[in-house]
Structure 1
């Protein structure tokens, strides 16, 4: 009984993350890739068919598989995500209407995210086995 409930929760979370990822394709402030990575994780524990669909997807499949297997974020994705993050956070930093505490929180959050992204390997060949 418990494993069935857990499996259903993973499945529902996977669907929710796919939906949020699709919204992220349309809205610039909502990320797509992290939601699809979480969806792949959830589907790997609830539906092998849906997991296989994600890792064989023509656009996202290789990125998800590289992440699952080696923890790799390709260099071009690092550059794209860095530029998008900096572009999106420039708005609250430029305008005076935002509280200095909010600006500081944004800067710290972005720096932490960028540190995480740039400390991941860019190629599977750089991963030590």
Structure 2
């Protein structure tokens, strides 16, 4: 009984993450990728069919498979993510007036995100 409840929670969380991921495609400030990765994780523990559906999606399935196989973030995605993060914060940081602590928090958050992104491999290492 307990396992069924946990599985249901994973299923609901996965569905919610997919919805948020698709909303993120439309809204530029809501990230798509993290939600879809969490959805894949949740589905891997609740629904093999939905997990396979995500993995076989023609738009983002390859990225999810790469992430699951080795934590891979392709180089072009790293460049895109870095560019988007910088573009999204340049205007508010330089041209909007708000507390310096908030500005510092934004910069620290972006730097941490970039360090993490660039620390991940860009391609699967070949076994010798």
TM-score range, shorter chain: over 0.9
* Aligned residue number for residue 33 of structure 2: 33
Mapped partners of 1:36, 1:85: distance in 2: 19
| Gap runs ≥5 in structure 1 | none
In the TM superposition, residue 94 of structure 1 has moved relative to its aligned partner by 1.1
| Gap runs ≥5 in structure 2 | none
TM-score, length-scaled by structure 2: 0.96
Mapped partners of 1:22, 1:98: distance in 2: 31
User: What is the CA RMSD across the aligned residues, in angstroms?
Assistant: 1.3
Mapped partners of 2:91, 2:18: distance in 1: 28
Task: Kindly indicate whether residue 98 of structure 2 is the aligned counterpart of residue 98 of structure 1.
Answer: yes
- Point out 4+ residue stretches in structure 1 off by more than 2 angstroms: none
Cα deviation digits, residues 35-89 of structure 1 (max 9, x gap):
0000000000000000000001001100000000111000000000000000111
Mapped partners of 2:82, 2:69: distance in 1: 23
Task: Kindly indicate whether residue 119 of structure 2 is the aligned counterpart of residue 115 of structure 1.
Answer: no
Mapped partners of 1:90, 1:68: distance in 2: 32
* Aligned residue number for residue 79 of structure 1: 79
Question: How many residues matched?
Answer: 128
The 3-state SS of whatever aligns with 2:72 is: coil
In the TM superposition, residue 17 of structure 1 has moved relative to its aligned partner by 0.5
In the TM superposition, residue 96 of structure 1 has moved relative to its aligned partner by 4.1
TM-score, length-scaled by structure 1: 0.95
